[in-house]
Amino acid sequence: MTKLLILSSSTGEGHNSAATAIAYTARGSGLQVTIRRPVEESTGVNRSLANFYNTLLIHRPEWMGSYFRLINSARPNEREFLYLKVRRYIARFIESAGADIVLSVHPMLNHFIQRFIKEERLGIACYTFLTDPFPPFWHGWISPYIDRYFVPTDEAFQALVGGGIPPSRSERVPMPVRPQFVPAALKDIHELRQALQLDGPSTILINGGARGGGPVFDVYQTIRNSAGASNILVVCGRNGRLRRRIERLQDRRTRAFGFLEDIHRYVGASDLVVTKPGALSGYEALACGVPVLFTGMRGLMPQESGLFEASSRYDFGFAARTFEELKAIIQMGPAEWNRKRPAVSKFYQSSSGEELIERIQPEHVRA
C-alpha cells in the first residue's frame, strides 16, 4: 500500500484542518496516511517556538506583522547550520515514517526534510499544498526541493511563479475542507436551534478559533449591541476565561462554547459567520454556503490580508477593519447577508481534496 506522509504543525489550526481533510480522502482512495508534526516532535526549543507563535495569536495579534517580516527575513528554515544540526533527526524521522509520498501543508516544512530526501536520493515524491489561498505568502512556501505545488487560487499560482517556481511545477486544485462541512438541511438547522433553545429570527456565529484569541469579546459586544433579535453563538475554543466572561453576561440570545468537535453543525445553521480571515475557517463556512464577515481589528496577519480583501473582490462576504465597520455590517441584517450566498457558491464549490489526491497518487493506485 502506498504511504502518504502529511507534514503539518499546530501553529494555527488551519494547517491541521487541511491535513485532516486530505487524510480522510486519501484513505478512502486506498492510501495509507500518517499526519506528523515535525516541529512539535523534534525538540523542546522548537516546541517553545511553536507555543510562542500561538501565544502571539492569542494575546498580541497586532505583533504578527512584525513576526511575519522577521521570519521572512531570517529564513531559519533555509539556514545551512540549522540543517546540519537537525540532519540526523531528519534521517530518523524519514525512516520511521516509511513514506512513498511527502505532502507539506505548512510554510515552514518545505526545505529541510525535502532537501534530505533529494540529497540521499530516496525516491520519495515531495509535494506541497498551499493553505494560504492569496498572497502575500510566507517565503517558506517557496523551495527548490518540492517536485510539485498545488494551490487553491489563480492568485496563488501567479505568486509562486513570481517567486521563481516554474509554471509547470504548479497546479490549481480546490481548497480541501473536512467532508462534514456542507450546506445544512432545514431539519438539522431546526434541531440545533431547538437543542440550544434559540428563538431569534437569525443566527450569527462568532468563531474565535481553536484558541479564542484576539479581540473576540469586543467583537461579541459590538455584535450584541447591533444585532437586534439575532441569536449569537460564540466559539471560544480553549479560552475558558473568554467563555466564562461571556456567560456571566447572561444574555438570553447568546450561547458560548468551548472547543467544538462538531462545529460544522453550528456553522451550517448560521446566517453569518464572523471570523478572522484564516483560510480554513473561512473556506469551511463557504463550504456550508454561509457568507463570512472577516475581522481585522487590532491588525491583520499579512498572510491573511489577501483573503480579507478577496471577500469584497469576489463578493462572498464582508470585511471589517474597525468596530464601526463591523457595526454597520451587522445592522444590514440577514436580508443583506443572504444576498452574498449566490457569490459564495460561485467562488467555492466544496471539496475534501479529491482533486489533489487524484494528482498525487501513483498510477497503480489510481487504476
Sign of CA dihedral 301, 304, 306, 311: negative
Q: What strand order describes the sheet that includes 254-257?
A: 254-257, 231-235, 203-207, 272-275, 292-295, 317-320
Residues 6+ apart with CB under 8 A from 52: none
Radius of gyration of the chain (CA): 21
Query: 128 and 101 in contact (C-beta within 8 Å)?
Result: no
Domains and CATH numbers, the chain: 3-176+351-366 (3.40.50.2300), 186-347 (3.40.50.2000)
Sign of CA dihedral 136, 137, 143, 149: negative
Stated length of the chain: 367
Q: What pLDDT was estimated at residue 364? A: 44
| Helix, coil or strand: residue 100 | coil
What is the chain's percent helix, strand, coil content, to nearest 5?
A: 50, 15, 35
pLDDT digits (tens), the chain, 367 positions: 899 999 998 777 788 999 999 999 999 999 999 999 998 887 666 666 667 666 666 667 766 667 777 776 778 788 888 889 889 999 999 999 999 999 999 999 999 999 999 999 999 999 999 999 999 988 899 999 999 999 999 999 999 999 999 999 999 999 999 999 999 999 999 999 999 998 888 999 999 987 788 899 999 999 999 998 999 999 999 899 999 999 999 999 999 999 999 999 999 999 999 999 999 999 999 999 999 999 998 778 888 999 999 999 999 999 999 999 999 999 999 999 999 999 999 999 889 999 999 999 875 455 4
Q: Up-side HSE of residue 47: CA atoms within 13 Å toward CB?
A: 5
- Largest distance between two CA atoms of the chain: 63
